[in-house]
A and B are shown apart, each in its own frame.
Chain A
Amino acid sequence: MGSIAQATYWTIHGSSLVLALHLLGLTLFGYIAARRLGPLLAARRDPRLDRPWQRLGRVAQYWLGQWRHPRFRFAGALHILIFAGFLILAGRAFKLLALGVSDRFAGEGGGWYGAVHAYAATAVLLAMIAAAARRLVLRPARYPRSADAIFLLGLIALLMAADGVFEGSEGAFEHRAMALASLPWLVGAVFAHASLPVLRGLHTGAYFVHEGAFIGLLCYRPFGIQFHVETSLFSIYFSKLDRGTVKPVRWDIPDEHLDSADGFGVKRFEDFTWKHILDFYSCADCGRCADFCPAHAVGRPLAPRTLTIKARDYVFRRYPVFQSAQDGQALVGGLFTEDEIWSCTTCGACEAECPLLIEYIDKIVDLRRGLVDDGRAPQSLHKPLKALESRGNPFGKLERKRGEWARDVVTNGSRPLETLYFADSISSYDERMQAIARAAARILARLQQDFGILGAQERDSGHDVRRFGEETLFQALREHNTEAIRASGARRIVTADPHAFNALRHDYRDLPPVEHISQVLARAVEQGKIRFRPAGEAVYTYHDPCYLGRHNGLYEEPRRVLDAIPGLRRVEMARARDRSFCCGGGGLALFYEPKEKERMAVRRVRMAAEAGANVMVTACPFCMANIEDAIKVAGMEGRMEAIDLAELAERQMEPEAKVPEPEITQAKVVGS
């Protein structure tokens, strides 16, 4: 078969023509890539060069290993196939490009690599057809009708087909055996008896179609969802490593200097960090985040993918490759609505789903910081925020009454303390939730723990104050609590509130180790320190609180405690563990009045009923508040009840081993 490089096309030498085409394509791509890099350089700092080994591990798991894809069976399998095909074909593509420049790269066709790549190309081609059919015929609800996606699938299919024709025509010419049932084999079989000029024409034509499709793909990708082919490796390498945390307001300004910072939160596009803009580029618009977003599910005006795609289109308009910049639209109030930004409960379901590890919570929190700084906090949050400022709790209750819940249960408060029980606001003041705190305290007493509370010295952990964007107030609360905890001399902290747990564990610094009561219980069960009475007839299901499960990975401990109760029948809801469905959110989310069609917790209660349960066990006072309300709203009183893990464990503790009635009735409280 004739050489591509040595042939002459309209008086131009082949290698020169191909080289010129290559250079043209590369130059164009280089220019586009440089333009796309511009916004990243204009963005805020975000140090992501630490822990290289952990980052490489992530690349191995989530990029090379495609870890998250099997969560969606069909689409995931298709993607793994295409990704593997691309990896196999990458070498082949470069070889093909090179042999147009010089015969040195032509080499022999066939061999084992020939067979592998022939099958890979065939598989990718078929996958393209399947993917296109899926989008055009099956039309899963999460895909927008995007011409962009179909065009790209077509371009890749063309690339694969050209490769097959190139290889097949060469094989037919050389009468070489080709990988059975592969595309080159098919082409070879069809053109087995074709004349030399026909084969040569096919061969040359396929080469230039391949060249065109390759350059076309390279230069078109940075304009749409296929950009993730280039950016995903970086997005995953630089992904956020510390779950449960919220990024600082500014990486380049220490907290104590924030009062005089010129910018606060994200108000204009360049206030996003470079990694967050890279995230916008990387989104493949697969919609898995939105499928699992509870806010989206109940009709709130938020879908994580839409947020990203809007931001991506915005940055493309603001930093265009060819035209002049044309977008001065405001971010919130223009591109995004305020309701959209406040609709998020920071449950993290989207981040658990995204195959590219795109971050959402940090961006939402940063946008909220910008809004709060401009005085645009939702009206319904003004009073709770003001009360948090003056009284340290969102209800405006008196500080001196904060420890009253513990009057009959906290008796041992020698100083310095071994264990500090951190109740947080809702369990301190809400009558219903006080029962959770009391149950947890009785469990600690039963385990003969030397423990006490901060009482009037405690302030709200500020967990959701921070996540609702009022960073300065959060820092004031943190400072107060940190001092009080240090002064108590406690060597460890226990709480039954996952929001407090997450705050003390991730948002505070240099505190003693923090545990959730479910961890304490699980350990006590394991060590045989607690025995339970048999449970009754009810069917239980465990609802994973977001800040215990997704944000802290505590899925098994609560279940182990439940399973240690003899005869307890437990079923799992379809959405459990890292796919748990948020109850509606805690902290300030209780005060936010969202626009929605249905309450999240009502959905959740129905899910529990569908699973066949009549008792929902949770391990968070906010889940309790939302779920108990939802049981009433859904009209399921008498058919469904909610109980906290600590309450259930305390209720089921063997009677003989129950805590002796406290001898001292006055709560001994640290610092009072």
Chain B
Amino acid sequence: MDILVCAKRVPDTAENEIEIKADGADIERDDLVYSVNEADNYAVEAALQIAACTGGKVTVVTVGGEEDEEILRREMAMGANGGVLLTDDAFRDSDGRGIAAVLKAFVETGHYDLILTGVQADDGCAQVGGMLAAMLDYPFASLVTSIEVVEGGKLKIAREVEGGNKEIHAIDLPCVLSIQTGINEPRYVGMRGIRQVASIPIPRLGAPDLACALAMTGKGNAKVQRSRYFTPPAGKAAEILEGSRDEVIEKLIDLLKAKGGLN
């Protein structure tokens, strides 16, 4: 089974102090470190596990610039067979629909049995996966927490639903799935692994290769535009429970019950 995983490079929330620029138009990007969007990393791991069972190749694709190559290499160090960078000035500042259109154009250049995305990007809107499926006219399932390959060109998948419950679906291939974090434990990517793939060429495709997408890409064609960032006002301070140990435990249990944490 040949699998395509769509990934994105995002500022790493664990390693940055995110500050908003004075005009609110963007965050301070001077001192940021980036990494693979966490959910996408789970998607790559899921793809690698499926490919290990069924055979086939895992390709990772991203839309962006030269600097985004690093996440493709990281995923290749993880075990992906190849990475493709979709880059062109015409793609810059696209909205979700534009990105989905570029990805759709790329999908049509090859043959993929399964397309995975992360459930959402840390800095995104959880929309590209669904739009991509619609544009390709493929079946789509979101918030996927397990995948099992069954006979006859189908998958058995589990989706997370409210309250921690799961529902199980059968879905026809080819399809698009958005992968929830926690579906697996992504393997560690060491520095040696990254160095070993450092010199593998990464193919780049631009507007001439993916021309059909151009009507929807770029700032001019974006129908959704980000206008402002802001920091929400700090909420009420934390409540500190007081009293003896037993009293504190009792109060805590009451609170948890009241807030629905305990049944």
Binding site for B on A (CB under 8 A): 258-260, 264, 372-377, 379, 381-383, 385-387, 389-391, 396, 398, 400, 470-473, 476
Contact = CB atoms under 8 A, between A and B. Distances in A.
Nearest to B188: A377
A387 B35 CA distance: 10
A396 B190 contact: no
Contact of B15 (A258, A259, A391): A391
Contacts of A396: 12, 14-16
Given A259-B196, A375-B190, A470-B190, 16 more contacts: A260-B196, A264-B192, A372-B190, A375-B187, A375-B188, A377-B188, A386-B12, A389-B191, A390-B12, A391-B15, A396-B14, A396-B16, A398-B31, A472-B191, A472-B195, A476-B191
Contacts of A387: 14-15
B224 to A, nearest CB: 31
Contact of A470 (B14, B17, B191): B191
Interface in B1-47: 12, 14-17, 31, 33, 35
Interface string B167-195: 00000000000000000011111111101
B15 A473 contact: no
Contact of A373 (B17, B35, B190): B190
B33 A376 contact: no
B99 interface: no
Nearest to B187: A375
A371 B212 CA distance: 45
Nearest to B190: A372
A359 B33 CA distance: 40
A365 to B, nearest CB: 14
B78 interface: yes
Contacts of B17: 398
A-B residue pairs, 10 tightest by C-beta: A375-B187, A396-B15, A377-B188, A472-B191, A472-B192, A390-B33, A473-B191, A375-B188, A259-B195, A396-B14
B12 A375 contact: no
Contacts of B187: 374-376
A391 B191 contact: no
Contacts of B196: 259-260
B195 A372 contact: no
Q: How large is the interface on B (under 10, 10 to 19, 20 to 34, 35 or more residues)?
A: 20 to 34
Given A375-B78, A396-B16, A385 B33 contact: no
A389 B188 CA distance: 13
Interface in B185-240: 185-193, 195-196
A372 B190 CA distance: 7
A376 B45 CA distance: 13
A269 B12 CA distance: 39
A383 B38 CA distance: 11
Contacts of B16: 396, 398
Nearest to B195: A259
A619 B117 CA distance: 49
A96 B79 CA distance: 66
Contacts of A375: 78-79, 187-190, 193
Contact of B185 (A258, A379, A389): A379
B188 A258 contact: no
Contacts of B79: 375
Contact of B192 (A258, A376, A386): A258
B31 to A, nearest CB: 6
Nearest to A386: B35
Contacts of B191: 389, 470, 472-473, 476
Contacts of B193: 373, 375
B15 A390 contact: yes
A373 B192 contact: yes
B188 A382 contact: yes
A450 B17 CA distance: 34
B179 to A, nearest CB: 17
Nearest to A371: B188
A319 to B, nearest CB: 30
A428 to B, nearest CB: 15
B192 A385 contact: no
A476 B78 CA distance: 20
A223 B31 CA distance: 61
Interface string B57-81: 0000000000000000000001100
A466 B192 CA distance: 13
A372 B196 CA distance: 15
9 contacts: A259-B192, A259-B195, A373-B190, A375-B188, A377-B188, A387-B14, A396-B14, A398-B17, A472-B190
Contacts of A391: 15, 33
B194 to A, nearest CB: 9
**Residue in B14, B187, B196 whose Cβ sees the most chain A Cβ within 10 Å:** B14
Contacts of A377: 188, 190
A331 B98 CA distance: 49
**Residue in B78, B186, B189, B190 whose Cβ sees the most chain A Cβ within 10 Å:** B190
Contacts of B31: 398, 400
Contacts of A386: 12, 14-15, 35
A379 B186 CA distance: 8
B51 to A, nearest CB: 15
A373 B78 CA distance: 10
